[in-house]
Every structure is written in C-alpha cells, then in structure tokens.
C-alpha cells in the first residue's frame, strides 16, 4: 500500500476490503462473492457434477422426506420453518411439497443476504406452492438471528443447509451455533447440513472445476471491488488456487497474483501493491467428521437428536436441540 490519506468508510464492504487488502497476508471475505453475478455463478456451481454437496443433500431430503417432516411436527404440530441462507430453495422445496400436500400447519420464512435471490424464490414459491404461507426476509445470518429472537412463542424449525456453516472457522461456527442455541426454546429444532471428510481428491475437484466456474466465482470479489468501489483489478492477473488439508478438513481458496503489479481502488483512495505469487485468501470450506460435529454441538450447548446421511457418507444432516 502506498497511499494513506484518511478515508471515511460508508459501508462495511469498503471497510473490510480496505482492512483485508492492507493486511499481511491479504484476505477478503467470501460473503462478498454474492452479488447478482456471484449468485448466478453459485447456482452454476450447484449444478456442476464435481460439486457433489448439493446433490447429496438433495438425495438425503428426498430419501427421508416423510421422516424429516414428522420430526419437524413432533410434539407441537404447528411450527415456523426458518431457513438461513435459503438461496433458490431447490432442496427445501422437497420438504415444502410434502408438508403442503400433507396439510402440515407451518409457515416458511426464507432468509438470505441477497434480495435478488429472495425475489426469485418468492416468485417460484407462489407459483409452485400457492397454499404455503411465505415470509421472506433479507439479511445476514446475524440479522436473521434477531428475527428468530422475535419469534418467541412459536415453535421454530431452523434450517441451515448446504454446509454453509463450513464457511466459518470453528470458533466462529461455535459462536454462531451458541447464538442460535440461546434463541431456541426447548421444542425448537436446528436441522443443519455438514459436508463430511472424504477422499481429498473429491474435495479438491469440487472446488477446482475444469470449466473455470469456481475460478470466476472466486474472482467475482475482485469484479465487485471494480464495479462498486472503482477498482481496476485485472482478473487475468490472478490464479484461482485451492488447497485441502485432509488432517484439519479445511479447504482454502486463494487468488494468487501472477506478477508484480499495483491496483488502485478509487473509492478507498488506496493503491495496493501485489508481489509476484502473493496471495489473497478468500474462503474456507470446512469438512467435518462425527467427532468434530459432536464437539461443535457440545461447545454450543446443543444436543444431537438424530442424523441423516447419503449412501456414500459424503454428507450429513444433523438434527440438534438445546
């Protein structure tokens, strides 16, 4: 970094981009992948054969639909289904179909950071399930938690699918689960997806597809900085690089500068120097085993009630209670 005039940040995006790119080593948060283009790229990722996570969770929901629905309604048949990071709802629609066809007494509240994604979801739900009462809400997981808090008195079934928890470090995941736990009542459930450890090559392939979709997704954070903050990143000067540590179960994504160069970001009034092969760490996608899931749950004050798994044991959905 060469300039250091005082800039007043007006958004969290500006502040975090400045902090991340002037730090050593450099980093940017994966939450900034998701603008309209990033949402579309993530949809494409979920359709890639290499990205097994979506299909595996879909299979679990499809093979255990009735059992899961009964679990949601056990004790108190009336509940609110709150989904954190709902996306296009493709997997959840399996449950919604069963719940609505069998006259379960529930409301569906999809929560997502992207208003664009929510608009699409709401439209498709109106068409496919006109009888389901839908209350979409835009916001981050943490804003969503406040929403959950205001729901006391209604039984809540909280869905957190897609191994979205894997984008958090263990410490952050525990904090998040603890926050959820504190807002849960005894009858509430947390239905949560975890991508499990497996052949390391399978994991690397999922984050390093030959078609370059994941690379474009990773680089989209730079494209966003260009569009929204007046940056002049040349995306071709960066490589998408994925590593997976089979011991810790952590997959990490990087952008690696192929040459010495300087990038300016007008809105932040800053110049960022890159050395040849210097990295920007952009995402972690944690993989789990049973011991780690049990540890996270215990640290957060949650109990594992039951679990569902696909035939290859690639992916698991756990049902947690406080």
Q: Specify whether the CB–CB gap between 286 and 162 falls below 8 A.
A: no
Check residue 163 for interaction with ligand AVI (CB under 6 A). Answer: yes
Position of minimal CB gap to ligand AVI:
285
Check residue 297 for interaction with ligand AVI (CB under 6 A). Answer: no
- For residue 67, give both structure tokens: 């059992």
Q: How far apart are CA 228 and CA 239, in angstroms?
A: 22
**Token match 């056990």: residue?**
74
Q: Specify whether the CB–CB gap between 194 and 60 falls below 8 A.
A: no
Q: Which stretch binds ligand AVI (CB under 6 A): 6-14, 64-72, 164-172, 289-297?
A: 164-172
Check residue 52 for interaction with ligand AVI (CB under 6 A). Answer: no
What is the number of other CB atoms lying within 10 angstroms of the CB of residue 47?
Answer: 11
* Dihedral sign from CA coordinates of 51, 287, 145, 160: positive
Q: Residue 229, Cα to own-chain centre: how many angstroms?
A: 24
Check residue 162 for interaction with ligand AVI (CB under 6 A). Answer: yes
Q: How far is the CB of 164 from ligand AVI (least distance, A)?
A: 5
Helix (H, G, I), strand (E, B) or coil at 17: helix
Q: How many residues touch ligand AVI (CB under 6 A)?
A: 12
Strand-pair partners of 138: 112
Q: How far is the CB of 206 from ligand AVI (least distance, A)?
A: 7
Q: DSSP characters for 93-130? A: HHHHHHHHHTT-EEEEEEEES-HHHHHHHHHHHHHH-T
Check residue 166 for interaction with ligand AVI (CB under 6 A). Answer: yes
Strands 137-138 and 303-309: unpaired
Q: How far is the CB of 56 from ligand AVI (least distance, A)?
A: 12
Q: How far is the CB of 284 from ligand AVI (least distance, A)?
A: 8
- Say which DSSP state 139 is in: S
Q: Phi then psi for 16, rounded to 5 degrees?
A: -75, -35
Among 92, 181, 285, 317, binds ligand AVI (CB under 6 A): 285
Q: How far is the CB of 168 from ligand AVI (least distance, A)?
A: 10
Q: How far is the CB of 32 from ligand AVI (least distance, A)?
A: 12
Residue 106 or 207: the one with the smaller Cβ distance to ligand AVI is 207
Check residue 164 for interaction with ligand AVI (CB under 6 A). Answer: yes
Q: Which of 251, 306, 303, 313 is nearest to 281 (CA)?
A: 251
Q: How far is the CB of 172 from ligand AVI (least distance, A)?
A: 14
Residue 82: half-sphere exposure toward Cβ, Cα within 13 Å: 27
Q: Which stretch binds ligand AVI (CB under 6 A): 163-171, 273-281, 293-301, 311-319?
A: 163-171
Q: Which of 88, 87, 91, 85 is nearest to 144 (CA)?
A: 85
Binding marks (x or -) toward ligand AVI, 11..50, rule CB under 6 A? Answer: ----------------------------------x-----
Q: Enumerate residues 203-262 that contact ligand AVI by CB under 6 A.
A: 207, 214, 217
- For residue 113, give both structure tokens: 């950071």
Check residue 283 for interaction with ligand AVI (CB under 6 A). Answer: yes
Q: How far is the CB of 315 from ligand AVI (least distance, A)?
A: 11
Residue 136 or 166: the one with the smaller Cβ distance to ligand AVI is 166
Residue 162 or 249: the one with the smaller Cβ distance to ligand AVI is 162
Binding site for ligand AVI (CB under 6 A): 45, 53, 162-164, 166-167, 207, 214, 217, 283, 285
């Amino acid at each position: 970094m060469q300039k250091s005039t005082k800039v007043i940040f007006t958004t969290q995006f500006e502040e975090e981009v400045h902090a991340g790119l002037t730090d050593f080593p450099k980093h940017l948060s994966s939450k900034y992948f998701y603008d309209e283009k990033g949402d579309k790229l993530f949809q494409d990722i979920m359709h890639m054969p290499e990205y097994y996570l979506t299909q595996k969770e879909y299979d679990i929901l499809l093979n255990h639909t009735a059992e899961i629905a009964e679990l949601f309604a056990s004790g108190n048949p009336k509940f609110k289904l709150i989904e954190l990071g709902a996306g296009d709802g493709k997997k959840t629609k399996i449950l919604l179909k069963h719940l609505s066809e069998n006259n379960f007494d529930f409301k569906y509240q999809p929560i997502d950071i992207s208003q664009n994604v929510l608009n699409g979801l709401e439209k498709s739900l109106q068409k496919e399930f006109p009888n389901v009462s839908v209350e979409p809400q835009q916001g981050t997981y943490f804003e969503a938690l406040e929403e959950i808090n205001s729901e006391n008195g209604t039984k809540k079934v909280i869905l957190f699918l897609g191994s979205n928890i894997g984008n958090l470090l263990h410490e952050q995941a525990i904090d998040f689960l603890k926050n959820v736990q504190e807002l849960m009542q005894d009858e509430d459930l947390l239905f949560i997806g975890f991508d499990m450890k497996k052949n390391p090559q399978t994991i690397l392939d999922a984050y390093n597809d030959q078609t370059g979709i994941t690379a474009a997704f990773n680089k989209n954070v730079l494209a966003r900085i260009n569009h929204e903050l007046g940056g002049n990143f040349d995306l071709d000067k960066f490589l998408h690089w994925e590593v997976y540590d089979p011991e810790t179960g952590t997959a990490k994504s990087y952008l690696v500068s192929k040459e010495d160069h300087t990038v300016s970001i007008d809105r932040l009034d800053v110049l960022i120097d890159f050395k040849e092969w210097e990295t920007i760490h952009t995402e972690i996608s944690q993989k789990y085993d049973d011991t780690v899931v049990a540890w996270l749950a215990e640290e957060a004050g949650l109990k594992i009630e039951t679990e569902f798994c696909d035939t290859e044991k690639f992916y698991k959905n756990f049902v947690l209670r406080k």
